[in-house]
Amino acid sequence: MTKNPYPISLFLIMAAAIIQYFAGNFPFHFFEFPLNIILGIIWIYSIYILLRGNNSKGNISRILVSPKTTAFSLFMFVCGTLIIGLFPQLSAIDAENKEGILGRLGFYNFMSSWIFVSVLFILLSHLAAITIKGFRTRKNKRWRFLLNHAGVWLALFGGFMGSSDIITARIPVFFDKENNEALTMEGKHFYLDYDMQLTDFDADYYQNGIPKSYVANVKISDRQSGESSLISLEVNHPYEYKFGEDIYLVSYDTRSIKPQYCILQIVRQPWKYVQLIGIIMTIAGAVGMFIGGPQKQS
C-alpha cells in the first residue's frame, strides 16, 4: 500500500511559506553556474539511488512515483500559475515594497518565491522518478514514454535550474558616446563585455502621433577583441548577439524631435535551449502516441 504523500508535501510547502514570510524571495543568485549544475546532478542521482534495486520498495520512493503525488503536484502547480495570472507580477524591488500578508508571501513576484520553488521541486522530483522508473521497467515502446515524460521534465527543469543564470537588464544607447553599463530589473548595475552606440534611428507614426514602428541601428564593439558589428533592431524582433543572449529594442527618447537615445533590453538565458529541447521532445512524444496509438502494458 502506497503511503499518503500529502503530509510530507504539505509540510514542505508550509515550511517554504514560513521562510518566504520572514526571509523574502528565494536567493536564485546563490545557485548560479556551476553550482546549479552540481546540485542538479546530485538531485537526480539521489532519486535514481532511491529507486534502484530493493530501495524501490521504500516509503519515500513509493511516494515519489505515487499517482496521488501526480495529482497533488499538478494541483499545486496549477494553483501557482493561477496566482501568477491573477496577481500583477512586479520586479523584485517593487514586490518587496508590497505590504500585507500576500506581499510577504511573495504573490507579486511569485515565480521567485520559496512557495513556488517548493512546488516545482515536488513536481520535478516526481517527474524524474516516474521517468527513471518507467524507462527501466518498460520493455516495449519505451521511446514514446521517455519523450513524453522526459520532455516535460526537461522543459520545467531548464526553467527551474536556469533561473539563477537569467539576467534581464536595460541600457540606454546614445548617438554621441558608447555605453556598456546596464541596470538589472533588481536595480543593480551590470556591465556588458561589449560597448554599444546608436548610429541611426527611424520611427514611423500614426496620424495621431502614436509611434507605429521604430528601428534602431546600433554598433556593437567587443571589448576584448576590438571587433565591431552593426545590427538593426526593431520592436518584437530580438537580435541574438551570442549564445543565449538576446537584445531587444524596447523604448526611445520621446521628448526630443530627433531621438537622442534608445533603450535596449539585454536578456541572458543560457538554459533556453534546454527548455526548447524539452518542448520538442514532448511534441515528438505526443505525435508518436497519436500515430502509434495507446501503449499496452508490458
Per residue in 78-99, pLDDT tens? 999 999 999 999 888 888 888 8
Does 73 lie in the same domain as 130? yes
Q: How many CB atoms lie within 10 A of CB 121?
A: 17
Does 64 lie in the same domain as 180? no
Give the range of the structural domain holding residue 105, as residue numbers without chain letter: 6-137
Most distant CA atoms of the chain, gap in Å: 75
Q: Is 268 left (phi over 0), alpha (psi -120 to 50) or beta?
A: beta
Total tally of structural domains belonging to the chain = 2
Does 239 lie in the same domain as 171? yes
Output the pTM of the full model.
Answer: 0.78
CB of 64 within 8 A of CB of 46? no
Closest CA to 113 of 90, 145, 129, 86: 90
pLDDT at 249: 96
Angle 88-91-95 (CA atoms, 0-180°, nearest 5)? 70
Per residue in 128-160, pLDDT tens? 998 888 776 655 557 777 788 889 999 999 989
Does 177 lie in the same domain as 129? no
Does 131 lie in the same domain as 23? yes
Q: Inform me whether the pLDDT recorded for 114 exceeds 60.
A: yes
Per residue in 38-64, pLDDT tens? 999 999 999 998 888 555 455 778 888
Does 172 lie in the same domain as 126? no
Per residue in 254-291, pLDDT tens? 888 889 999 999 999 989 889 999 999 999 888 887 77
CATH classification of the domain holding 215: 2.60.98
Q: Is residue 162 part of a domain?
A: no
